[in-house]
Amino acid sequence: MTTRRYQSDTPRIDWDEVIYNFLLITFILFAIRDGLTGSIRYLFQLLHVSFLWFVPDLMSFVAMGLFFYQQFFVKKNAIGMYLCYIFILSTITSIFFMNNSAFSLFSSIKMFIPMFVGFCFYQRSVTERQWVRVVLIVICGASVLGLLANPYVEYPWVGQTISSFGMEREATKLWWQEGGIRYGGLAGDSTMAAYMVIFIFILLSPHYSFLTNVICLPIILWAIQVSTSKTALGVYFLYVGIYFTVYFLRDRALNIAFLRLVAKWSFVCLLVPPLLMLMFYGADLGKVSSTLFSLQDRIDNTWPGPFRTVAEIFPAGVVFGCGLGCFSYPMDYTALADYNLPLDNFYMSTLIMMGMPFILFIAMQFLMVRHARDPVKLSLMTMFNFYSITIQCYGPSYATLMFGYIFSEMFGYHVRNKSRVPKQPKLKPMGQGGAEPGLASGQADMVPRPQG
């Protein structure tokens, strides 16, 4: 007796694509939320649906779980597993140092995990899909128009007090030394608005012609100048230099070699704060120029201050760090709120949270640059390292996410043999052919080239 076997007509689920689409939606939701923070917060409060604000955060917890599973059970990547270990250690340390309640611990974890969303893009580009690029163009365009119109329009959310878990924050802020208005556009915060404009533009720039970029560059510059963000302005000019160099080199191999070289040298930016503290601690740079008051404040207070505090009240933190969320906004929810002095540097802020183990992770970041193949991520790496000198980048969450995205390629490698983990073959629906657009087949399209 024989049994006939029938082939199911039900299409198989491509879980790689399901996960990728989930990550894309999470990425986009963070971009929308943080690019339009002021307007969205204002609208949510009017409609009494403020809980929707945390939807991207909940999705990032799922992304964190996916990253842990992939790194431990699928890729078995040494760097990824090491990062997971120091994340767990830092979470435990945070409980001992400052988090005496479940809520404050949740806030600390929520602050950090958007970067896991970015880490999950180790084999893909977020701009592969055209609809994603269209959404990012709309967000960038809205951010630019929001900034340019801000000097002439009084937005209803400017100056509003936003209540979040018992804490109140103002939607815009002033220059601390001169009291001049910092226009925040639709984001409601000048630093956030400038970040969204420049970094989304860098993501999109290589997908469009040279002429399109030349037309857009002055508009981007205008918007950044309105925001008064000096750091974003520096990133802008740095990117313009890199963009034109890559464009005129033309050769793809030379472009990648150049971008890797610049990315490696950008790690010198990590040494800038300690060198400035050694040379100018206690000096009065404000006498040289009033624009240096904020830099002098960082040199004397916000950079060294948290490390002094940890050494005094939690000596073990000198080695192991003070845990997730310390000396950032989650600390305001704890009994140690009076000690909080926000550390205006991403790498120093992460170092004080994770301690000496984070230094080894930075070394891994540097060493893996030579294996990076995505020119956009290499360009963003240089921009982020420069930008993070004076910005903590743990707010907005999109900035934290971008750190993960920029350095995601290192999690697709086996460190022992330095070879890329083979990408799983994609199941194509019947009747469709052609290669999947993206890094595998269209990487060359990510390099600026003449189109008009």
With a CB cutoff of 8 Å and minimum separation 6, the contacts of 22 are 59, 62, 63
Cα 314 from chain centre: 29
d(CA 197, CA 194): 5
CA atoms within 13 A on the CB side of 317: 29
Asked if residues 124 and 439 have their Cβ atoms less than 8 Å apart, the reply is yes
Q: pLDDT tens, position by position, for the chain (452 residues)? A: 444 555 556 678 888 899 999 999 999 999 999 999 888 988 998 898 989 999 999 999 999 999 999 999 988 999 999 999 999 999 999 999 987 778 888 999 999 999 999 999 998 999 999 999 999 999 999 999 999 999 998 888 876 655 444 444 555 544 444 556 778 889 888 889 999 999 999 999 999 999 999 999 999 999 999 998 889 999 999 999 999 999 999 888 999 999 999 999 999 999 999 999 999 888 877 777 777 788 888 888 899 999 999 999 999 999 999 999 999 989 988 889 899 988 889 999 999 999 999 999 999 999 999 999 999 999 999 999 999 998 999 978 999 999 999 999 999 875 454 445 444 434 333 333 333 333 233 333 444 443 43
Is the pTM here over 0.85, yes or no? Answer: yes
Please give the full DSSP string across 14-28, using - where no structure is assigned: -HHHHHHHHHHHHHH
CB neighbour burial string for 113-133, b if at least 16 within 10 angstroms, e if fewer: bbbbbbbbbbbbbbbbbeebb
Please give the distance of CA 258 from its chain centroid, rounded to a whole number: 23
Could you tell me if 412 and 421 are in contact, meaning their C-beta atoms sit under 8 angstroms apart?
Answer: yes
The phi-psi region of residue 393 (left if phi > 0; otherwise alpha if psi is between -120 and 50; otherwise beta) is left
Helix (H, G, I), strand (E, B) or coil at 419: strand
Note whether 108 and 117 are within 8 A (CB).
Answer: no
Count Cα neighbours of 400 within 13 Å in the Cβ-side half-sphere: 22
> Residues 423, 5: contact at Cβ < 8 Å?
no
Going by C-alpha positions, the residue among 164, 157, 197, 202 that lies closest to residue 38 is: 157
* Residue 434 DSSP one-character state: S
Q: Are 385 and 369 in contact, with CB atoms under 8 Å apart?
A: no
Q: Cα(209)–Cα(212) distance, rounded to whole angstroms?
A: 5
